[in-house]
Amino acid sequence: MNYYAVADVHGFYEELKSALDEAGYFCDPEPHKLVVCGDLFDRGPSAVAMQEFIAEELEKDNAILIRGNHEDLMEDLVDNLAHMPDLLDSHHATNGTVDSLLQLTEMPLLDVYYYPALAQGKMRHTPFFKKILPAMRNFYETENFIFVHGWIPARPIGAYYSPRSFQPLPDWRNCGEKEWREARWFNGMHAWACGVREAGKTVVCGHRSAAFGHWEFEGRKDDFTPFRKEGILAIDACTVVSGRVNCVVLHENGRESRP
């Protein structure tokens, strides 16, 4: 089995398609799967095309989907839409979630304000809510890899958004939804550097741009290529800045294909 792993594609469908094409996804004669490590929407202009593509890959049993923090944001936005007095003055606007809702429902902003129940109903009947969200999981594990969004659950020490340190949780696989929701916001490269690792495995993560790892641990600026060290493979390319999506091809035996 070959795993084509991407993360944080954020509604940039053309960039995702180009990355998969370049990696050989569409012409691979061997059994293969697309692994998306969270954050399908928010930021990019092609939420509808992204939704259609991911739904098609699910129908063909070609996709493994990891839930990201932006999936949590969208679900929270839809659940609370009727109680939000100013959508444009909320973290849902700055994170791009409002824009994705407008794209997927094909409703203008004023209609969402005046008819929030209609927007909720439309959103809950999209393929995203009916097919994609239910297919998402907290992590996917093989003999050699663990695919997550932010990182595996750990105990943050310090402030919530920028903890000073992390402590491992030995039984992280059995953590509840609260711990997983928190872990989806972790900077995996920071947690990895604090020693939160899984022996004998590589954790493949997104959420924070790989450029952080290149700068923090290698002193290289503006490098959005995957960050690779023993035990970690961070692949978020910060597409809105770099204009690209990273796609890594991982084999069941633990190897990685590189161009």
pLDDT in tens, 200-225: 999 999 999 999 999 999 999 999 99
* Domain ranges (residues) in the chain: 2-135, 140-257
CA 28 to chain CA centroid, nearest Å? 24
For domain 2-135, the question of CATH label 3.60.21.10 is answered with: yes
| Of 92, 149, 157, 91, nearest in space to 119 by CA | 92
Token pair 């979630």 is at which residue?
Answer: 97
Residue 31 makes CB contacts below 8 A (sequence gap 6+) with 1, 2
- Report residue 218 as tokens: 């290698």
Which residue, among 17, 91, 85, has the nearest Cα to 54 in the 3D structure?
Answer: 17
Q: Go through the chain and tell me how many residues it has.
A: 259
Dist. CA 75–CA 70, nearest whole Å? 9
The DSSP call for residue 106 is T
pLDDT, residue 83, reads: 85
- pLDDT < 70 stretches in the chain: 160-162, 259
3 state SS of 200 = coil
pLDDT at 208: 96
Pairing relationship of beta strands 232-234 and 202-205 according to DSSP bridges: parallel
Query: What was the pLDDT predicted at 161?
Result: 61
Distance CA 154, CA 101 (A): 31
